């Protein structure tokens, strides 16, 4: 007899069935192009926001590819969010230690960087704002974490 599949598409029975790992993001995160993003509802300083991201195995969002800024601008609405970029002396540096490569214009000369309604700007790090975390998508192979498309089994 074939594998039972319930109406909601979750795999049931035959726990020994091999499952191919898939790239996925945690609940409440948005996955796009192998990166997971989290848009917070709570607000805090830049440092506090980075600590919140770190506690979830992520960092404040690091935008190294051209499409990332435009993607986040479309998702964020009219709220300003902290990003993982800050001024170290005269240079901007990402929280992962890499240098900012001038992928986009950062308005202002303040220390900490945020995504505003239309662009990227800087302000005092002590201002309270929500934040965006990012981390790579992770491989998940647990049956309880994967949803399957309902398919008919042939006997």
Distance CA 57, CA 27 (A): 14
Q: Are residues 32 and 85 in the same domain?
A: yes
d(CA 25, CA 21): 13
CATH number at residue 101: 3.10.100.10
Question: Rounded distance, CA 104 to CA 57, Å?
Answer: 26
Higher pLDDT, 78 or 84: 84
Output 112 or 27, whichever has higher pLDDT.
Answer: 112
Residue 6 sits in the same domain as residue 56: no
In 53-142, at which residue ranges do the beta strands (DSSP E only) sit? 59-60, 81-88, 91-94, 106-107, 112-115, 120-123, 132-136, 138-140
For the chain, the first-to-last Cα distance in angstroms comes to 6
Question: What pLDDT is recorded for position 139?
Answer: 77
Report the residue count for the chain.
Answer: 155
Q: Would you state the structure tokens that stand for residue 16, as one six-digit string?
A: 């020994």
Looking at residue 11, its pLDDT comes to 42
* Same domain, yes or no: 47 and 17: no
Task: Please list, in sequence order, all residues whose beta carbon lies within 8 angstroms of the beta carbon of residue 34, skipping any fewer than 6 positions away.
Answer: 23, 136, 137
Query: What is the extent of the structural domain holding 19?
Result: 1-24+139-155
pLDDT at 127: 97
Separation of alpha carbons 30 and 84, rounded Å: 17
- pTM over 0.85, yes/no: no
Q: Say yes or no: 82 and 113 in one domain.
A: yes
Q: pLDDT digit string (tens) for 93-136?
A: 999 999 998 888 999 999 999 999 888 999 999 999 999 999 99
Alpha-helical runs (H) found in 14-152:
46-55, 66-76
Residues 31, 17 share a domain: no
Higher pLDDT: 117 or 45? It is 45
Tally of domains in the chain: 2
Q: Are residues 51 and 74 in the same domain?
A: yes
Q: What percent of the chain has pLDDT over 90?
A: 49
- The reply to whether 39 and 81 lie within a common domain is yes
| Strands 106-107 vs 120-123: parallel, antiparallel or unpaired | parallel
Is the same domain home to 45 and 120? Answer: yes
Whether 98 and 150 share a structural domain: no
* Contact in structure between 36 and 136 (CB atoms under 8 Å): yes
Shared-domain flag, residues 63 and 77: yes
Are 74 and 17 members of one domain? Answer: no
Say yes or no: 97 and 116 in one domain: yes
């Amino acid at each position: 007899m074939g594998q039972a599949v319930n109406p909601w598409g979750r795999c049931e029975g035959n726990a020994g069935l091999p499952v191919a790992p898939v790239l996925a993001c945690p609940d409440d995160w948005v996955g796009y192009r192998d990166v997971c993003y989290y848009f917070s509802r709570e607000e805090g300083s830049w440092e506090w926001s980075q600590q919140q991201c770190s506690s979830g195995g992520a960092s404040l969002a690091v935008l190294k590819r051209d499409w990332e800024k435009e993607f986040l601008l479309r998702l964020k609405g009219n709220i300003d969010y902290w990003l993982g970029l800050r001024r170290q002396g005269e240079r901007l540096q990402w929280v992962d230690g890499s240098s900012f490569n001038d992928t986009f214009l950062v308005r202002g000369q303040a220390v900490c960087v945020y995504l505003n309604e239309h662009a990227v700007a800087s302000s005092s790090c002590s201002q309270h704002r929500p934040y965006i975390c990012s981390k790579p998508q992770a491989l998940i192979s647990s049956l309880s974490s994967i949803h399957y498309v309902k398919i008919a089994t042939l006997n």
